[in-house]
A and B are shown apart, each in its own frame.
Chain A
Amino acid sequence: MIAFYAVLVFMIVSAIIACEIKDLLGAVIAMGAVGFSQGLLFLMLQAPDLAITQVVVEVLTLAIFIAAISRSTRVDTTKHILPASIVGICVLVLVIIGTIQAIGFLPPFGSPLMRVSDFYIKNGLVQTGAPNIISAIILDYRGYDTLGEATVLFTATIGVLVILRNRGKQKDK
């Protein structure tokens, strides 16, 4: 459990660095540290599929971020505006206090409500034939969810291609 909290603290520190550093490449690398430590946490929370997906997606995200930085600028030239950051900190404190009040209503960490999941765990292997219950859920019980995910991915790809298109409509050529 100590390793778990150590990774959580490392994650928070990296997030603060990513927020405050002036070098944008450094900020992106700190964000990558947050993402990879999140993959580690997924492994500790007994979610190996998520850990694999998170690491792959994190590599892709970092590649896209670095491509964006290499096409724009690396230094953050914006000035620090004091009233805006005071308002931001006030909103932040309010959100944190409110959410901590709200999570008091959740079941405590480590003992989830599993009314639906118990059905999946009991019958998943027999009904779908998949040894991994997570693949049974995303590909069989909730297959339409995955169809929607593929649609979103396809639409986003088309969106990126349209936004980054260099040639517009050319007249008389």
Chain B
Amino acid sequence: MLPYVFCIILIGIGLYTVLTKKNLLKIVIGFCLIEYGVNLFIVMVGYRWNGLPPIMLTPDDKTLFVDPIPQALVLTAIVIGLATTAVLLAIVIRVYKRYGTLDLTELKRLKG
């Protein structure tokens, strides 16, 4: 149960960054941390003691393998995480070009 707790602490740090930091790049970093924590958690759920990676050359019923489905899903999620991070950072670059600051409180002041 202890490895799960580490993942949850990582997700919590990411959530704290998103909630309290006022810098746009810090918020994007927080999103990345949440993504890492969730991916790691899902892979950990599929781990099996003394299991091997599910790669075989002949049909094999005796060897213990780790669960392949979480790994397949996380493989998709990692690539999608890269895509969302790229879009977020493009928005950050655009905001800096337009307003010259990354501070959220400054941006709020500019609005009125």
Q: Which residues of A does B touch, CB under 8 Å? A: 4-5, 8-9, 11-12, 15-16, 18-19, 24, 27-28, 31, 34-35, 38, 41-42, 45-50, 53-54, 57, 60-61, 64-65, 67-69, 71-73, 76-79, 81, 84-85, 87-89, 91-92, 95-96, 99-100, 103-104, 106-112, 114, 116-117, 120-122, 124-126, 131-134, 137-138, 142, 145-146, 149, 152-153, 155-157, 159-160, 163-164
Among candidates B45, B75, B94, residue contacting A138 with C-beta atoms closer than 8 Å: B75
User: How many B residues face the partner with a CB closer than 8 A?
Assistant: 82
Among candidates B82, B94, B101, residue contacting A163 with C-beta atoms closer than 8 Å: B94
Contact indicator A117/B69 (Cβ below 8 Å): yes
Which residues of chain A come closer than 8 Å to B65, judged between CB atoms?
Answer: 121, 133
Among candidates B10, B74, B92, residue contacting A12 with C-beta atoms closer than 8 Å: B10
Given known contacts A65-B89, A149-B79, A47 and B43 CB-to-CB distance under 8 angstroms: yes
- Is chain A's binding surface mostly helix, strand, loop or mixed? helix
Contact indicator B93/A72 (Cβ below 8 Å): yes
Closest to A116 in B: B69
A156 to B84, CA, bound (A): 7
Given known contacts A50-B78, A53-B79, A159-B90, A61 and B85 CB-to-CB distance under 8 angstroms: yes
A69 to B94, CA, bound (A): 12
A55 to B3, CA, bound (A): 21
- 18 residue pairs of the A-B complex, CB under 8 angstroms, read A15-B10, A18-B29, A19-B30, A27-B29, A35-B32, A41-B40, A68-B89, A73-B96, A103-B4, A109-B3, A122-B59, A126-B59, A134-B68, A138-B72, A152-B83, A153-B83, A159-B90, A164-B94
